[in-house]
Amino acid sequence: MGKQFRIAPSILSANFATLGLEVTNAIASGADIVHFDVMDNHFVPNLTIGPLVCEALRPVTDAIIDVHLMVKPVDRIIPDFAKAGANIITFHPEGSDHIDRTLALIKDNGCKAGLVFNPATPLDYMDYVMDKIDMILLMSVNPGFGGQKFIPEALKKLRLARAKIDAYTAETGREIWLEIDGGVNVANIADIARAGADTFVAGSALFGAGKDSDPHRYDSIIGALRAELGKV
Ligand code: DX5
Ligand code: ZN
């Protein structure tokens, strides 16, 4: 069986004046998942979007909405995102005082749950909560902004995370997705896949492509990303 790769456009770099259309165009061009970046100007030095925008996007697409919470504290807002139609909710361990409890809260609200690791955050946080994790998200930039440069050290961390996940899956049969976020582009996506990622966030590389007026503006960039993944 060939490996399944998923492309997850980060709407942070989309045109917010036409957000619904941006999402449907990206999905129509072959993207798989909507990556939804939530920032609170406290945990990270930027402010973005909340449950209201998630709720507005829900009826425009059947695609999985992958909510990346860069907020602290994190628990209060989780049920709101579940009600707004999120499918996956991930958070940073630094954003929660009780990581196991927060993972359980996400699951109790009917969503898939995941942990996000900043570039310098050790992977140890996942070791005793694997049974509650559906996705591991590794940051390959410091969170807060789109358009930053990929930190190469993330490749080493991906290999380590891949080994932990594979060992767990071999033991339990349960699948955990491994997502990478930050600075992914056509030039580096194949190396990132070889290091073990199966799900690829792409913000500026994707939404920066093509002309605003062209409804097929994302066809060629998604095609180029897929062509690189095809070489892996
Ligand atoms: C950064 C966000 C990312 C970001 C990725 O804090 O979590 O999802 O939007 O954007 P690019 O692909 O431009 O690095
Ligand atoms: Zn993100």
3-state secondary structure 133-197: CCEEEEECCCCCCCCCCCCCHHHHHHHHHHHHHHHHHHHHCCCCEEEEECCCCCCCHHHHHHCCC
For residue 10, what pLDDT band results from cuts at 50, 70 and 90? very high
Give a yes or no: residue 221 inside a domain.
Answer: yes
Number of domains the chain is built from: 1
Give a yes or no: residue 150 inside a domain.
Answer: yes
Percent residues over pLDDT 90 in the chain? 95
Question: Which CATH number covers residue 215?
Answer: 3.20.20.70
**Is the CB–ligand 1 distance for residue 182 below 6 Å?**
yes
| Model confidence at 3: pLDDT above 80 | no
| Model confidence at 2: pLDDT above 60 | no
Would you say 91 and 116 are in contact if contact means Cβ atoms under 8 Å apart? yes
Gyration radius from the chain CA atoms: 16
**Is the CB–ligand 1 distance for residue 9 below 6 Å?**
no
Give a yes or no: residue 151 inside a domain.
Answer: yes
Between CA 115 and CA 83 the distance in angstroms is 20
Tell me the pLDDT tens digit for each residue of 183-231: 999 999 999 999 999 999 999 999 999 888 888 999 999 999 999 999 9
Range of the domain at 205: 6-229
Between CA 35 and CA 33 the distance in angstroms is 6
Give a yes or no: residue 1 inside a domain.
Answer: no
Give a yes or no: residue 191 inside a domain.
Answer: yes
For residue 1, what pLDDT band results from cuts at 50, 70 and 90? very low
- Nearest ligand (C-alpha, residue 43): 1
- Nearest ligand (C-alpha, residue 118): 1
